[in-house]
Amino acid sequence: MSRDKKLKEDWEQVLNILSATFSEGEVLNLDAIIYLIGVQELGQGVKEFKKDDKLNLMHIAICRLLEPFGYYEFDFFDNDGWPHYKFLEELPPLKSGEQTVLMKEAIVLYFKANKLI
């Protein structure tokens, strides 16, 4: 099976699991999944977040997702329990579609590593 076909199948599995769990019949988009990963990585459970916190949660998720690719490295937890990452390397110039594929691949790897798929 080709790498692209396997990624597509794995991505569909992630979408189906998350959409069934966290939405009311609608398929979650990439940003929503990144946000959910940020909430998971923060580890403070379900609560109401301010707009700035939501952006920070997405940043946490992106850092965590790109960590296995060598772009970020976990650094420390602050006094409020928020994880912080060190920037290691610039992402190569990617077109929009290439960015999406990279994030989907990173999300699939994240869910495989956490044995959710």
Q: What is the pLDDT of residues 86-110, one digit of tens each?
A: 999 999 999 989 999 999 999 999 9
Indicate if the pLDDT at residue 2 is higher than 90: no
Distance CA 72, CA 89 (A): 7
Of 75, 70, 99, 71, nearest in space to 85 by CA: 75
Strands 72-77 and 83-87: antiparallel
- To the nearest whole number, what is the mean pLDDT of the chain? 93
User: What is the residue range of 54's domain?
Assistant: 3-113
Indicate if the pLDDT at residue 12 is higher than 70: yes
Indicate if the pLDDT at residue 17 is higher than 70: yes
Helices (H), the chain: 3-22, 30-42, 51-66, 96-113
Indicate if the pLDDT at residue 45 is higher than 90: no
Percent of the chain with pLDDT over 90: 82
Domain count within the chain? 1
In whole angstroms, how far apart are CA 67 and each of 7, 16, 24, 53?
Answer: 19, 25, 31, 21
Buried b (16+ CB within 10 A) or exposed e, 43-70: eeeeeebeeeeeeebbebbbbbbbbeee
For residues 28 and 18, the answer to whether their CB atoms sit within 8 Å is yes
Q: Per residue in 76-87, pLDDT tens?
A: 999 999 999 999
Q: What is the DSSP letter of 71?
A: S
pLDDT for 1 equals 62
pLDDT for 69 equals 96
